[in-house]
Amino acid sequence: MLHTVLSQYGLSHANKGNLNINIGLPLKILNAPKNCQYLILEMGMNKADEIKDLPKISNPNIAVITNIKPAHTEKFSSLFDVAQAKLEILYGIKSNGTLFLNRDNKYYDYLSSRANRNTISLSKDKNAEVCLLDLIRNDDGLNLKIRLSDNQTTNCNLPVQGEHFAYSLLFVAAVVQSLGLDLSKLPLALKNFSVTKDRGNIHKVKYNKKYIHLIDDSYHASRSSMKTAIKTLSTYSNQRKVALLGDMLELGDKSI
């Protein structure tokens, strides 16, 4: 989503797929256009010390920790260990850089107390610096109203379902503002947004002269993502709903 939006403001480049660890991320940096204005890099990990070198290589101005959830936890003993590992992003962020954190996550206080950088909080709670003022759902997507840290507001439409996308938009809007970009262009920029394959794509399938909404959220399930998917399904107005559930792996002894 961030790549889609920033591409409307200038030449942007991002790592896609699984090119987010010690080999793939440097390759994407090397492949970035010389005149690239915005480089968006996802940093992945499934064990401690795996992120540490990535920010040293990329030296970002802005870092985002979207959440701490039980995914890829096979090599971690607890979610607290995951939170500690994600803080490794601070090893390379510039001293005058900004860290964006989800205030609704239970590890927010721990993360913010150790950030040692300018930190901006995002939340559904109006006490956060960037917050979600309103969220309206319909079968075609989400209508959202966001308040930024300077009390500026913006209204956006997302052609997706799921509250987690609302959080993604909070982060995107906050980053756009922190870069000093024109926030009024954000709603138009989002019209080009589409979900990454298998991560909540909505398909309308015609069957027996009727249309069925098929939500493909099959990429790498975990307990938390499964709960989110079921919650998303429950928001549809259709009377009949069917969930097809697969394996939940890489969760250690909690794998199913």
Positions in the chain short of pLDDT 50 = none
| pLDDT at residue 93 in the model | 93
pTM, rounded to two decimals: 0.83
**Alpha carbon 18 to its chain's center:** 15
Query: CB-side exposure of 162: number of CA atoms within 13 Å?
Result: 21
- What is the DSSP track for 97-117? -EEEEETTSTTHHHHHHT--S
| pLDDT at residue 247 in the model | 78
- What is the DSSP track for 137-166? EETTEEEEEEE-TTS-EEEEEESS--HHHH
Cα–Cα distance between 242 and 256 in angstroms, integer?
A: 20
In this structure, the strands spanning 62-65 and 38-40 are unpaired
Model pLDDT for residues 182-221, shown as the tens digit of each residue: 999 999 999 888 887 766 777 788 888 888 878 887 776 6
Listed residue (67, 8, 65, 2) closest to 39, CA to CA = 2
| pLDDT at residue 161 in the model | 79
User: 2-192 has which CATH code?
Assistant: 3.40.1190.10
| pLDDT at residue 72 in the model | 65
In this structure, the strands spanning 141-147 and 130-138 are antiparallel
Domain ranges of the chain: 2-192, 201-254
Listed residue (49, 50, 27, 51) closest to 39, CA to CA = 27
